[in-house]
A and B are shown apart, each in its own frame.
Chain A
Amino acid sequence: MSGSDHNRWSEDLAAYMLGALVPREAAELERHLDGCERCQGEMRWLQPALHSLPESVERQEPPPRLRQALMAEVRADTKPERRPAMRRSWSWFSKPAMGFAVLVLAVALAAGYEIGKGGSGDGGTASPLVTHENGITMKMVPEGEGGTLHLAKLHQLPPDKVLEAWVRREGKVEAVPALLVPDRKGQAETTIADMTGVDTVMITEEPQGGSEEPTGEAIVTMSVPQ
């Protein structure tokens, strides 16, 4: 590309960044940008200036009702509790290695997984469940129909990884919506809204953003007494 050609596009960069080019002009510039590292560099350099513009406006206090209305709409969105994509058979779970792991775990759980001290005489349904695996401690504290899952002694994750919790209900695996990132102490927690019919809770390491189904073996698994 010639210098004058570059200069022609370079002159349009600021207008483009400010949203002042018409769509046709913007599309032409974007095509040029794809192949012009100089323009890309100039745009990167100017970007902080663009980002300072909204910060320059006089501060207004949003009315509390805006937050209330927004969160009401957001929470209404979360009402459908199970994502259809999650309602699939746990084919991953049936892998021989995993089957063996579950068998071993079931034996281990039957032999000694701890039932918390708070629920004596009630069959343990309202007591915390605790299990240890791979040096990780996982505790489920029942709360209403659901419960809070506490994890401790977790390793720090690479930046591109998160932990994801899964429950198995009636033979089908479902993701717990929130992803987990261990804090500096190696702890993480999440809430499971509905534990009805859940017989297993497990944690896997997944790519950033989470997965629709487990992509690797569980780092910790807990059986839930029915």
Chain B
Amino acid sequence: MAVRREKAERLADEELMPLVGRKDAEAFEVLYDRHGGAAYSLAYRIVGDRAAAEEVTQEAFISVWRSGARFDAARGSVRSWLLSVVRNRAIDFLRSKAGKAPKLDFDDESALEQRPAAERTEEEALRRETATEVRGAIGNLPGEQAKVIQLAYFGGFSHSEIAEILSLPMGTVKGRMRLGLEKIRGELAEGLA
């Protein structure tokens, strides 16, 4: 059995993790309730399909349940760690689908051309509509920096693949990634100031 739900709700994520490691279902449930929405949203953003996003989210949380002890507080928050697990699962999911390239979510025709025609579904068209609504600091980046970051993080493309897609030298791709992350970091720091 487990700590009571009310008790678990009072604990910080970092305090819940040892309980999850001890197979405390109540603690795990609280963890899901806190971060399941963000996890599902991220999975959907990457795989672009609700059923697949459900599958990815469930697999990611089950892997956390079965290996909760792997969380290392020194490397960031529980939420960041959870979302990185979801992101990796989602990218793996995309790569495991034979013939399927990772989903893209911004208006880049040349990158879209790299993808099988079957991928250009109505649903994806709707998703691309929302591409311009990317929120947060990434939405304020210059387009060329946002593109390489989104292709890498949400698309799972390597820097050499991105260089090929965008017809850019690899050094330029890496440089834009760096500049983009630095700019986001700077904005976050300003927000804290």
Residues of chain B contacted by A181 (CB below 8 angstroms): 11, 15
Residue B181 at the chain A interface, CB threshold 8 Å: yes
Which partner residue on chain B sits nearest A191 by CB separation?
B1
Subset of 29 A-B contacts with CB under 8 Å? A11-B171, A11-B174, A14-B177, A14-B178, A14-B182, A15-B177, A19-B88, A19-B91, A19-B152, A21-B159, A45-B185, A51-B83, A52-B138, A54-B83, A56-B134, A58-B133, A59-B38, A62-B39, A62-B40, A63-B50, A63-B54, A66-B58, A73-B62, A75-B25, A78-B25, A178-B3, A189-B7, A209-B18, A209-B22
Contact yes or no, B4 A189, CB < 8 A: yes
* Residue among B37, B80, B159 with the highest chain A CB neighbour number at 10 A: B159
Residue B52 at the chain A interface, CB threshold 8 Å: no
The count of chain B contact residues (Cβ–Cβ below 8 Å) is 78
Residue B147 at the chain A interface, CB threshold 8 Å: no
Residues of chain A contacted by B139 (CB below 8 angstroms): 56
Which partner residue on chain A sits nearest B88 by CB separation?
A19
**Which of B21, B41, B88, B156 sits near A60, CB closer than 8 Å?**
B41
A22 to B170, CA, bound (A): 13
Residue A156 at the chain B interface, CB threshold 8 Å: no
Which partner residue on chain B sits nearest A22 by CB separation?
B158
Residues of chain B contacted by A62 (CB below 8 angstroms): 36-37, 39-40, 54, 57
Given the known interface contacts A54-B83, A56-B137, A78-B25, the answer about A191 and B36 at a Cβ–Cβ threshold of 8 Å is: no
Residues of chain B contacted by A13 (CB below 8 angstroms): 178
Contact yes or no, B2 A46, CB < 8 A: no
**Which of A12, A14, A48, A58 sits near B45, CB closer than 8 Å?**
A58
Interface string of A54-71 (1 = CB under 8 A from B): 111111111101110111
Q: B92-135: which residues lie under 8 A (CB-CB) from chain A?
A: 130, 133-135
Ranked nearest first, the 9 interchain pairs of A and B with the lowest CB-CB distance are: A56-B136, A62-B40, A191-B1, A49-B184, A18-B152, A20-B152, A49-B185, A14-B178, A14-B177
Q: A162-192: which residues lie under 8 A (CB-CB) from chain B?
A: 162, 176-181, 183, 188-192
Residue A53 at the chain B interface, CB threshold 8 Å: yes
A208 to B15, CA, bound (A): 9
Given the known interface contacts A47-B76, A55-B38, A63-B54, the answer about A12 and B188 at a Cβ–Cβ threshold of 8 Å is: no
